A = this chain, B = another copy of it.
């Protein structure tokens, strides 16, 4: 992705001069979040392998690695290709690869980087073994375990043991351990409720690990965990490494569920802002130039920054409506800053971040893996 000259010319400008809608990234908040995750996991004795599916940025991945990340996670092979091409040397692809062409691509990437795959089916293992053999590689594979989120992954100890044995038996596969990421847990509202479920699923994970160990299938890597469960994951220490992604920018959805009072979750800062503008002042409402193409609507309501007197609602692909119960008076052309509801799907709408410190644009970073979903 080449940054257009018109965008590049915004470097050095004040935020109130940039065309809206624009996706802003607060450099100081980003750096703070990167350092905080590094510190929290280090203190807990865990590794961290931040997920890049959200930020999709080579520059951010590099900063995460510099801060001590073991590597990064990607969801798709086309995403991983972007990061390997940029010299990122350690990538866990956290989603099952089934298409033989994609598995071949993963084996090809393994020439230039340490690539780990996940699997939940013996047929995937056979395909990986076949492709690895052809490529003269040995692929590191984790067995994916489903602890109750009802998506990918094996959901019984018997299946997990059988699959791990199969992986260990195949010549061109190295059984590396397990992945047990539970997306649904990340967004359970309220710390007490979330911690209780995390403890329960982590106990279940321990049963899996004990059974595998009992069969001589030692798990070098036990990976999972996200931004919402980070505090509990760091205390329980069942994972060897955690793979949060949203922590690096945060969003309104994560803000809404809350962390433990004064716990580290509450310390992550909001680094992602959607800057919009009032384009119509009507009798009972104000129209913003930011709708469904400016931020995703799939999770939680976006939050207007610094204004409790107005609330946002989506009003089409290119429109949002602000209403006020307290008679707030907004001006035509006024800039309105918003925390997007869901960072991952919002970032995926943009080609670049306008990186700012305070009210100045200091850089532009391409969202390198935007749209890389295959």
Contacts and interface: CB of A to CB of B under 8 A. Distances in A.
Given A121-B332, A278-B98, A287-B152, A373 B319 contact: no
Nearest to A19: B374
A136 interface: no
Interface in A350-374: 350-351, 371, 373-374
Interface stretch (A171-179, A247-255, A290-298): A290-298
B373 A98 contact: no
- Stoichiometry, as copies per complex, reads 2
A95 B315 CA distance: 13
B374 A279 contact: no
A160 B114 CA distance: 65
B287 A345 contact: no
A20 B96 CA distance: 13
Interface in A135-182: 146, 150-153, 155
B314 A152 contact: no
A43 interface: no
Contacts of A281: 121
Contacts of A195: none
Interface residues of A, number: 61
A183 to B, nearest CB: 6
B293 A373 contact: yes
Interface string A282-294: 1101010110111
Given A19-B102, A123-B332, A317-B344, A294 B373 contact: yes
A151 B287 contact: yes
A354 to B, nearest CB: 11
A146 to B, nearest CB: 8
A120 interface: yes
- Which of A96, A146, A155 has its CB near the most chain B CB atoms (within 10 A)? A96
Interface of A: 19-22, 53, 75-76, 78, 95-99, 101-102, 120-121, 123-124, 146, 150-153, 155, 183, 277-283, 285, 287, 289-290, 292-294, 296-298, 314-319, 321, 332-333, 344-345, 348-351, 371, 373-374
18 contacts: A19-B99, A19-B102, A21-B374, A53-B317, A75-B317, A95-B319, A96-B287, A98-B333, A99-B277, A121-B280, A121-B332, A123-B332, A146-B282, A151-B319, A152-B280, A155-B282, A293-B373, A349-B373
